Amino acid sequence: MNGDQMITPPGVLEAAPASDLVPTLMRFLRLVRRRRHIVIAALAVACSIGAAIYIAAPRYYASTAKLLVIEQKNDQLASVGDADGSDTTMATQREIVISPVVLTGAIERLAPEHRIDLVDVPPNEWVEELASLTSASITRRTNLIDVSCRSRHPESAAAVVRAVIDSYLEWVREKHQGAAGELKGVLTDELAKRERDLGELERRLQVLRQQVGHLASSSDEGVTDPIVQRALRLNESLMDAQQRRLQLQATYAAVQDAIADGSDVFQHLAGLEESVGKQVFQMSLGISPQQMSLLADQEQKLLATQEELRDAVNYYGPNHPKITELQRQEATLAAYIQDYRKNMGQRLGGAQDAATTQAVATMLQQAVTESVRREQQLAATFAEARQVAADHSGQIVEMQRLEGEVEWTKKLRDSILDRIATVDFRQGQAPIQATVVREPLPNLKPVSPRLKMTVVGSVAAGLFLGCLVIYVQDVLDDRFGSPEEMSAQLGVGVLAMVGELEALPGEGFDAVHTHMMPNKPETESFRTLRTAITLSAHPSERLLISSSEPGDGKTTVASNLAVAFAQAGRRTLIIDADLRKPGLTTRLNLKRELGVADVLLADGPVADEAERRRLHTEVPGLDVLPTGLRRQNPAELLGSARFAELLAWAEANYDQVLVDCPPVLAVSDAQIVGRLVDGAVLVVRPEKNHRRMVIRAVENFATAGCHVFGVVANGITADDSGYGYGYGYGYGYGHDDDEYLDDEPASTVAYVNDLDSRDAADEDSPIRPRRAA
């Protein structure tokens, strides 16, 4: 589709982009205006129903009172200035005001004469009925509650509100006083029980402490007993001694095996603890502890010198004195450590003689013996300490439990005392205080039904119902309602609107209105069409005439438009390219004449063949090229290069070329031809064609790359004028019909009725063709 053409989806209120919302709304408003009689009828019905309801409905009167609700905080005295009731509190109190408990008390307070709204209601439904008539609302950002009631009598409404308020105030007072006294009695009994429990626990704790002795003391981590601590420390020492003995025994056995095998014994000393292993290793090498310390110092100095050298390289050059000195120190220390380790290696290599290995084994045996003896002593001591601690452990645990219970009981007792003090302080003041700030008074003006609301509701309901009916009708009747709607949804203009034309007597072009009655008002639409096409900014020398469906009148429009162009002095050629059902050829009785199909299948040049096949008509300046003999492959013929040559010949020899094509939705012939011409004119019958079909036809042309000049609304009748298809020309200059008998052509363009519905008949009057010379 060209860039200036946009198709809007059908339907009044269907989903559309935001940019299409305003046009869619305007279309619906125009549709409402055209069918305003439906809206008027709906308004009349709705207003009648509203008037009947207003007249028949019983009158209700309302009365309202205001309550000031103050929430008393724990540390405040009740006052209006300090009132800051929360939303939750106010909402709770509002619900309490209209709760069944309060309403039951209100009914009991009502006098019989004020129960007129409950007369026809069973007693077991009085509360529900009164709840439906009573309401409570909160004034925004205040502590005020409005209590209202509707009744069929003004005095009864005021009496009900007064009874509801009195019942609510009494409920608040009873709940507060009863709850405070009950709570204090419960707290006092609980306090006495906790006091007795606390005394008993303290007595038992004191006796137990005396049994445990004075060395037991309490700390943050519980009770600490020296006897238990001593047993725990002895147990730890015994476990360490057992581990040391096992290690020494394993090493001694490994050394014995190494001596028997003649292997290195020193490799088995690495697993010994530091004191034993170090002593045996130094004894075997003859190295003193001072020498080992000196070696460690030199290694530390070497590491420090290397670190300093790495940092200095970042700031000094390689020949700097500082760099040179550090490198010399590094080399000296490294040489010293290397020589020292070399000497130690030589000692280690000669240290494994028989005497040395035997000395190592002897030292390990002594260490094992000493470890076993120490382990036995610790085991005996731990057994004695464990027995003593076992006698005291049960008493210590019990003492810890009693101390926890005493502490918890004290805290609970203090909490009860605080709550009793709070209840005593607040017993004289209610947590919720309510005061009536506006008394309920009778209102003699009824609140239901309201005339203003009835009128507004009736009008709104009538408008809604009328628009709904119009919308449903529009959805069910999927046709264009006006030229504006057609243009907006198709994205192309309406070039002309042609009225319903009566068939003329005669044959061939004698039955064409534009030829036989050039000055009649009904033919002005074809000159309007001619002018619209001629004044278009797009080239229009080669035009395609088609429709969305058969029977829309495309052949009639094509023949009348061709005559209009010829009357304007333009040499015109009309080509019947409907090779499947040739309507124009049949209408002109040229079915036996050679034509388009023969030109396309001939072997000679297209120009020569076309010159021989074209036919002159009695209309000056108008020639016709019929379809010729019927062929089996019309789409292939129209898509061939010879058809393009045919159109080029026609454009070179004529001022205007019109191509009558099959309906675009029926076959693809119109799309094929559309790629070869300057544009297309689509014929539409608004009362017949569905919107979706016409939209699809325009989309098919756009897909083929064919420009659509616009549509022609055909077959417009007087009944269609109410839907926006106004047709007629007011020639109000005092001329008679006889003045239009002049054969001089008019100067406007038009649109024609569908003759396709009648073009299948072979009896149609023949044209009087003349062969071109």
Torsion sign, CA atoms 580, 586, 591, 594: negative
The pLDDT of residue 175 is: 76
> Would you call 278 exposed, middle or buried from its count of C-beta atoms within 10 A (0-12, 13-18, 19+)?
middle
The average pLDDT across 513-535 equals 88
Please say if the pLDDT value at position 351 is more than 70. Answer: no
Per-chain mean pLDDT for the chain: 79
What percentage of the chain exceeds 70 in pLDDT?
77
Please say if the pLDDT value at position 421 is more than 70. Answer: yes
Please say if the pLDDT value at position 739 is more than 70. Answer: no
Please say if the pLDDT value at position 12 is more than 60. Answer: no
Please say if the pLDDT value at position 9 is more than 90. Answer: no
The pLDDT of residue 734 is: 34
Return the exposure string of 169-184: e unless at least 16 CB atoms fall within 10 Å of the residue's CB, then b: bebbeeebeeebeeee
pLDDT digits (tens, 9 = 90+) for 109-151: 999 999 999 988 999 999 999 999 999 999 888 889 999 999 9
Of 556 and 26, the structure prediction assigns the larger pLDDT to 556
Question: 537, 527, 456, 460: which is closest to 498 by C-alpha?
Answer: 527
Out of 259-273, 278-292, 405-419, which region has the weakest mean confidence (pLDDT)?
278-292
Question: 703, 711, 706, 698: which is closest to 677 by C-alpha?
Answer: 706
With beta carbons less than 8 A apart as the criterion, state whether 71 and 83 touch. yes
CB atoms within 10 A of CB 22: 10
pLDDT digits (tens, 9 = 90+) for 220-258: 555 556 777 777 788 888 888 888 888 777 777 777 777
- The shares of helix, strand and coil residues in the chain, as percent rounded to the nearest 5, are 60, 10, 30
Bond before 449 cis per omega within 30 degrees = yes
The pLDDT of residue 2 is: 44
Of 659 and 501, the structure prediction assigns the larger pLDDT to 659
Please say if the pLDDT value at position 214 is more than 50. Answer: no
What percentage of the chain exceeds 90 in pLDDT?
33
Out of 76-90, 204-218, 529-543, which region has the weakest mean confidence (pLDDT)?
76-90
Out of 422-436, 581-595, 622-636, which region has the weakest mean confidence (pLDDT)?
422-436
Torsion sign, CA atoms 378, 381, 387, 390: negative
> Would you call 21 exposed, middle or buried from its count of C-beta atoms within 10 A (0-12, 13-18, 19+)?
exposed
CA pair distance 653, 646, nearest whole angstrom? 11
Question: 526, 449, 509: which is closest to 681 by C-alpha?
Answer: 526
Please say if the pLDDT value at position 765 is more than 90. Answer: no
Predicted TM-score (pTM) of this structure: 0.46
**Strand stretches in 482-596, DSSP E:** 494-499, 542-547, 572-576
Using 50, 70 and 90 to split pLDDT, how confident is the model at 100?
A: very high
pLDDT digits (tens, 9 = 90+) for 629-656: 888 889 999 999 999 999 999 999 999 9
The average pLDDT across 294-320 equals 83
* The most confident of 326-340, 485-499, 692-706, by mean pLDDT: 692-706
Please say if the pLDDT value at position 766 is more than 80. Answer: no
The pLDDT of residue 288 is: 60
Instruction: Using alpha carbons, list the distances in angstroms from residue 248 to 173, 241, 268, 367, 472.
Output: 88, 11, 11, 7, 105
With beta carbons less than 8 A apart as the criterion, state whether 686 and 500 touch. no
CB atoms within 10 A of CB 130: 25
CA pair distance 655, 540, nearest whole angstrom? 10
Using 50, 70 and 90 to split pLDDT, how confident is the model at 269?
A: low
Name the helix (H) or strand (E) containing 724: none
CA pair distance 702, 5, nearest whole angstrom? 9
Of 217 and 604, the structure prediction assigns the larger pLDDT to 604
Of 614 and 342, the structure prediction assigns the larger pLDDT to 614
Strand partners, 496: 712
The pLDDT of residue 128 is: 93
The pLDDT of residue 720 is: 58
With beta carbons less than 8 A apart as the criterion, state whether 344 and 287 touch. yes
CB atoms within 10 A of CB 202: 15
First to last CA, the chain: 42
* The most confident of 437-451, 511-525, 558-572, by mean pLDDT: 558-572
Is 67 strand, coil or helix? strand
Structure tokens at 534: 């001629």
Strand partners, 576: 660
pLDDT digits (tens, 9 = 90+) for 167-194: 999 888 877 665 566 667 777 888 888 8
The average pLDDT across 749-762 equals 34
Using 50, 70 and 90 to split pLDDT, how confident is the model at 213?
A: low
The pLDDT of residue 8 is: 45
pLDDT digits (tens, 9 = 90+) for 319-339: 888 888 888 888 888 888 777
Using 50, 70 and 90 to split pLDDT, how confident is the model at 212?
A: low
